[in-house]
Amino acid sequence: MNSQVIIFDTTLRDGEQSLQVSLSVKQKLKIALCLENLGVDVMEVGFPISSPGDFKSVQTISKNVKNSRICSLARCLDKDIDTAAEAMSLADSFRIHIFLATSTLHMESKLKKNFDEIINMATTSAKRALRYTDDVEFSCEDASRTTIDNLCRIVEKLINIGVKTINIPDTVGYTTSNEISFTIEKLFQKVPNIDKSIISVHCHNDLGMAVGNSISAIQAGARQIEGTINGIGERAGNTALEEVIMAIKVRKDTLNAFTKIKHKEIYRTSQIISQICNLPIPPNKAIVGSNAFSHSSGIHQDGVLKNRKNYEIIDPRTIGMKEVKLNLTSRSGRAAVKHYMTEMGYKESDYNIDELYTDFLKLADKKGQVFDYDLEALAFINQQQEQPEYFSLSFFSVQSISNGLSTASVKLLCGKSTYTESATTSNGPIDAVYQALNRITCYSISLQKYQLIAKGRGKDALGQVNILVEYKNRKFHGVGLATDIIESSAQAMINALNNIWKSDQVNEKLKILKKCNISKK
C-alpha cells in the first residue's frame, strides 16, 4: 500500500541563508505563496531570532499562507523558541523546529558538552516548544556522524515527551545511500516508540548524493523529505525537492509512496525562485534545466518523434513545460529536419529532403546551431555561397542619464541604402538603440529574452548578448559580441533583424512560386 511522503521545504530558511544578498519581506512572501500553490506540506520560512528582518518575514508569511504548515527554526535556547512562537502567532497552526548537535565531533569541539547534557538540553527545549504547539520537530544535527546508540537514546526520549517529527540530517553531506538506509533501519529496529513519530531526513549535497540519499531513506522507512527548490542551500546545496518529487512519481512502482504536490506547478515555481534568488538554473539540471527535455542526437530525435517514451521518462507537460526541444545541430538527423519543416506548415513535396539535409549539415558545421527560419531559407533560397547581411551597423551614439531619459542615434546600412534614426526612452540606452533600429526597419517585434554573458575578465572582456524576439508569432534569435555592452546589444538585435529579413524573403519567394503553381522537387 502506498503511503504519503511529507514534503518539507526549507528554501526560505536553509536556501535563503546561503544567498549573497538577503531577500526582502516582499520577495520571501512571493516565494512562500508559490510554494503554497505548489502544495508543499510544510514550509520552513526562517530563523526568527537571527534578525528583525527575518522575524518580520516569518510574521508576514504566517499571516498570508493558509494551506501549508508554517515552520520556524530555533536552537535549543529559551529565547529562540519563544521568538519563533511569537513570529508565527498569526498562523492558524505552526511547527517549531529545534535542533542540537549529537555527533561526538560537534559535542566536543563546538558545544563542549557530554551526551547526557545534550539529551537534557534537547528534552527541556522540546517541552518548552510543546507549550506553544503540539507540532514540534527535532533535528539531530550531524546525525550521519553520530553513533547509532546515541541516536536511538535521544530519539526515544524525545518521542516519549511528544515530539512528532524526528529529523536525521546529513548536515555536511558526508553519508552514502547504504549508510543512511542502515541508520533509518536501525532506528526502526531499536527505538520501541518509533511508530509514534515521523522520521525525516535532511540531506546536503557536498558529495553530490543528496537526492539519492533521500530516496534511500524513503525506501528504509522515512516519510518526510526536507530540501529546497532547485537544490539551493549552504555550500553545495540541499536535496533538490523537484527531483525527489518526480522520482517518487515516476518510480511509484518501487518506492510505494506518493506526495500531494501539484506537479504542473514545478517548472513555474523553479523559474520564479531562480529569478528572485538570482541563481541561474544549470542547463543540465535534472527536471527543470533547459536541456532536461531537449534532444540533439539524431538517433534520440528520431526515437522521440516516433514515441516520446523512447528517450523521455517524464512528459514535460507533467511539470508545466509545454514542449520538447529538438536542437538542430550537425548531430541531428533527417527526422528532426522533417519535423521542423512540418511544424512550419510545409509538406514533403514542397522541398527535396536530400538536398535540404546536405545543405543543413554544411550550415550546422559552420553555425553550430540552426533554427527553423534557417531551414526555410535553405529549402527555398540557395544560400550555399556566402551572402552579405542585409542590415549592417554603420554608427551609433547614445546619451543616458541615471533615473532619466536615454537617447540613441543609429546609422544602419540596409542593402545599398543608409538610414539614420533616433529614439528617446526612459528604459535605458539599450532600449533606445532598439527603438531606433525598429523605426528604421519597420518590423513589429517584441523582445522576449535578453541575456548578457561575460567572456573573459578585466577591461578587455567581451560581452556576449543573446536575445530572442517575436515577429509574426515566430521566434528569432540574435547574438552580438563586443567589449562595449551597448554595441554587443545592438549587434544582437541586428543579427535577429537579418534573420527576420531572410525569412521574409523566403515568404515572398513562396508567394511567387504559389502563384506560378510551382513546387520545388
Grid cell, residue 196, equals 509514534
Q: What's the pLDDT tens digit per position in 431-471?
A: 999 999 999 999 989 999 998 887 766 666 678 888 999 99
Q: In whole angstroms, give the CA distance from residue 230 to residue 286.
A: 9
- Is 14 known as a binding-site position? yes
Q: What confidence score (pLDDT) does residue 512 get?
A: 57
Burial of 387 (C-beta count, 10 Å sphere; 0-12/13-18/19+): exposed
Residue 521 pLDDT more than 60?
Answer: no
Q: What's 403's DSSP letter?
A: T
- Over residues 182-189, mean pLDDT: 98
Q: What confidence score (pLDDT) does residue 389 get?
A: 85
Q: How far is CA 197 from CA 23, 59, 76, 181, 312, in A?
A: 34, 28, 20, 18, 38
Range with lowest mean pLDDT among 171-185, 321-335, 503-517 = 503-517
**Phi and psi torsions of 168, nearest 5°:** -110, 90
Q: What confidence score (pLDDT) does residue 203 get?
A: 98
Non-local (6+) Cβ contacts of 358 within 8 A are none
Range with lowest mean pLDDT among 211-215, 225-229, 252-256 = 252-256
Beta bridge partners, 469, equal: 447, 476
For 263, other C-beta atoms within 10 Å of its C-beta total 18
- Rounded to the nearest angstrom, the gap between the alpha carbon of residue 139 and the centroid of all alpha carbons in its chain is 28
Q: What's the pLDDT tens digit per position in 466-491?
A: 899 999 888 898 888 888 889 999 99
Q: What confidence score (pLDDT) does residue 32 get?
A: 98
Q: What's 43's DSSP letter?
A: E
Q: What confidence score (pLDDT) does residue 519 get?
A: 42
Residue 505 pLDDT more than 50?
Answer: yes
Quickly state the pLDDT bin for 337 (edges 50, 70, 90).
confident
Whose CA is closest to 183, among 164, 163, 203?
Answer: 203
Residue 76 pLDDT more than 90?
Answer: yes
Q: In whole angstroms, give the CA distance from residue 244 to residue 254.
A: 14
Residue-range domains of the chain with CATH:
3-277 (3.20.20.70), 294-380 (no CATH), 391-509 (3.30.160.270)
For 180, other C-beta atoms within 10 Å of its C-beta total 26
Q: What confidence score (pLDDT) does residue 456 get?
A: 64
Cβ atoms of 290 and 327 within 8 Å: the answer is no
- Over residues 259-279, mean pLDDT: 95
Residue 235 pLDDT more than 90?
Answer: yes
Q: What confidence score (pLDDT) does residue 511 get?
A: 62
Q: What confidence score (pLDDT) does residue 383 get?
A: 47
Residue 365 pLDDT more than 80?
Answer: yes
Q: What confidence score (pLDDT) does residue 510 get?
A: 63
- Over residues 242-252, mean pLDDT: 97
Residue 385 pLDDT more than 50?
Answer: no
- Is 238 known as a binding-site position? yes
pTM across the whole model:
0.79
Grid cell, residue 365, equals 558545421
Q: In whole angstroms, give the CA distance from residue 486 to residue 418.
A: 21
* String of DSSP letters for 430-479: HHHHHHHHHHHH---EEEEEEEEEEESSSTT-EEEEEEEEEETTEEEEEE
Non-local (6+) Cβ contacts of 471 within 8 A are 443, 444, 445, 500
Burial of 392 (C-beta count, 10 Å sphere; 0-12/13-18/19+): middle
- Over residues 344-356, mean pLDDT: 82
Beta bridge partners, 200, equal: 167, 224
Burial of 17 (C-beta count, 10 Å sphere; 0-12/13-18/19+): middle
Cβ atoms of 270 and 31 within 8 Å: the answer is no
Range with lowest mean pLDDT among 15-19, 418-422, 507-511 = 507-511
Amino acid, single-letter form, for residue 90: L
Beta bridge partners, 521, equal: none
Q: In whole angstroms, give the CA distance from residue 65 to residue 411.
A: 54
Quickly state the pLDDT bin for 342 (edges 50, 70, 90).
confident
Q: Is 209 helix (H, G, I), strand (E, B) or coil?
A: coil
Q: In whole angstroms, give the CA distance from residue 362 to residue 255.
A: 48
Between residues 303 and 385, the one the model is more confident about: 303
Q: Give the mean pLDDT of the chain.
A: 90
Q: In whole angstroms, give the CA distance from residue 483 to residue 175.
A: 46
- Above pLDDT 70, what percent of the chain? 94
As a whole number of Å, the CA-based R_g of the chain is 29
Residue 88 pLDDT more than 80?
Answer: yes
Whose CA is closest to 166, among 362, 175, 146, 422?
Answer: 146
Cβ atoms of 72 and 47 within 8 Å: the answer is yes
Residue 240 pLDDT more than 60?
Answer: yes
Q: What's the pLDDT tens digit per position in 201-226?
A: 999 999 999 999 999 999 999 999 99
Residue 249 pLDDT more than 90?
Answer: yes
Residue 57 pLDDT more than 90?
Answer: yes
Q: What confidence score (pLDDT) does residue 95 get?
A: 98
- Over residues 242-250, mean pLDDT: 98
Q: What confidence score (pLDDT) does residue 429 get?
A: 92
Q: What confidence score (pLDDT) does residue 458 get?
A: 63
For 385, other C-beta atoms within 10 Å of its C-beta total 5
- Above pLDDT 90, what percent of the chain? 66
Quickly state the pLDDT bin for 514 (edges 50, 70, 90).
low
Range with lowest mean pLDDT among 3-17, 53-67, 186-200, 493-507 = 493-507
Q: What confidence score (pLDDT) does residue 181 get?
A: 98
Non-local (6+) Cβ contacts of 288 within 8 A are 230, 242, 266, 267, 270, 271, 281, 319
Q: What confidence score (pLDDT) does residue 373 get?
A: 77
Residue 106 pLDDT more than 80?
Answer: yes
Q: What confidence score (pLDDT) does residue 367 get?
A: 76
- Over residues 319-344, mean pLDDT: 83
Burial of 34 (C-beta count, 10 Å sphere; 0-12/13-18/19+): buried
Helices and strands in the chain: count of H runs, count of E runs: 17, 18
Cβ atoms of 202 and 245 within 8 Å: the answer is no
